[in-house]
A = this chain, B = another copy of it.
Amino acid sequence: MAEFATWIAVDWGTSNLRAWGMSADGAVISSANSDKGMGKLAPAEFPAVLTEVAAELSPAPGTVDVLICGMAGARQGWLEAPYLDAPADLRDLAAHAVRPAMENAALSVAILPGICQRQGGEDVMRGEETQLLGLASLAPDYAGLVCMPGTHSKWARLDGTRIENFTTAMTGEMFDLLKTHSVLRHSLTGPLDGPDRAEGFRAGAADGLDRPDNLLGRLFGVRAAALLSDRQPDWSAGYLSGLLIGTEIAAKRKQIGAASVPLIGSPALCALYWQVLDMSGASGHPVDATEIVLAGLKAARQHLA
């Protein structure tokens, strides 16, 4: 007999959403993806998209709870879930969830809030806080920095379920901007994944770690190296990526300390951060991002009113 999902876990980001049908004991029994991210939807369109996705997940008869994290709770999303202020206990996320109206009585929806920081560098996150709660529930004794590489990398200081502070580094977006729109695009057009990418990456990471204050003064070197040393696009892409990640990690070097930094993100990107942490004399270890977000949604559900 096929099992029914007694509740549904959703990570609803800007570009797409991922949903899982969950059993009562917290096992994943079904999953679905959609490219209907927050950025593509008006508020009134969210219920129909959710109903459509939920239908794929073998929901149990009657009413099924849906717990959502991510950009669906942004001001431009479905229904704003106002930020919780850091420092905060991540177990409090559930108590600040908002409940959008649904005509479809079969779904009872809650959207978790993001977290903001008003002192010591204004900053915001939406989605990552649930991953951090997941990490805290899988590794309850962990205290230290957590790195979440991506378009906007997040670095958070965690102490159990408490988030002390965090920073966003626009590293991934900066790479895309420079590759697509800047004068460096002339050196970054062509096959970017060639054999020299790894060497370029190491050279860029070394330069970033060495002089993180000099990022603005190093970027143009990508263009100069193509003109003067005939560097090819694969080397240039590696160099730029390494320079940006090296700069990002050097800025955190003092705070990282001796513990191994948990890395939550795509495996390919986490491997690059791991490599640069290693070059900097620190260490890191990748954590499965899907496992983490599910653990976070499960933990939040336990504290839901």
Contact B152 A220 (CB under 8 A): yes
Q: Are A228 and B118 in contact (CB under 8 A)?
A: yes
* Closest Cβ–Cβ distance, residue A87 to chain B (whole Å): 16
Q: Is A229 an interface residue (CB 8 A)?
A: yes
Alpha-carbon gap, A213 to B218, bound state (A): 13
- What's the minimum C-beta distance from A4 to chain B, rounded to whole angstroms? 40
Q: Is the CB of A216 within 8 A of B123?
A: no
**A217 near B251 (CB under 8 angstroms)?**
yes
Alpha-carbon distance A212/B219, docked complex (angstroms): 15
> A residues 99-124 with Cβ under 8 Å of B?
116-118, 121-124
Nearest opposing residue in chain B for A224, CB measure: B122
Residues of B within 8 A of A160 (CB): none
Chain B residue with Cβ nearest A184? B170
Q: Are A169 and B123 in contact (CB under 8 A)?
A: no
Interface assignment of A48: CB less than 8 Å from any CB of chain B = no
Within 8 A of B (CB), among A107-158: 116-118, 121-124, 152, 155
**A32 on the B face (CB < 8 A):** no
Contacting residue for A227 out of B124, B169, B217, B224, CB 8 A? B124
Number of copies: 2
Closest to A167 in B: B217
B216 near A174: Cβ-Cβ < 8 Å:
yes
A284 smallest CB distance to B (angstroms): 18
**A213, chain B: closest CB distance, angstroms:** 4
Known: A182-B170, A224-B122. A215 touches B218 (CB 8 A): no
In the complex formed, the residue of B with least CB distance to A213 is B212
Q: A177-B181, A183-B152 are in contact. Are A169 and B220 (CB under 8 A)?
A: yes
| A250 contacts B by Cβ under 8 Å | yes
A155 to B168, CA, bound (A): 30
A217 to B213, CA, bound (A): 12
The complex places the Cα of A244 from the Cα of B83 at a distance, in Å, of 29
CB closest chain-B residue, reference A212? B213
User: Contacts A177-B182, A182-B170, A224-B116 hold; do A215 and B215 have CB atoms under 8 A apart?
Assistant: yes
Q: How far is the CA of A152 from the CA of B219 in the complex (A)?
A: 10
Given contacts A169-B217, A170-B220, 18 further A-B contacts (CB under 8 A): A83-B228, A121-B221, A122-B224, A122-B228, A123-B224, A124-B227, A152-B183, A152-B220, A167-B217, A168-B220, A169-B220, A173-B183, A177-B178, A177-B181, A212-B213, A213-B251, A216-B248, A217-B251
The 10 closest A-B pairs by CB, nearest first: A212-B213, A168-B220, A122-B224, A169-B216, A214-B251, A167-B217, A213-B213, A213-B251, A169-B217, A170-B219
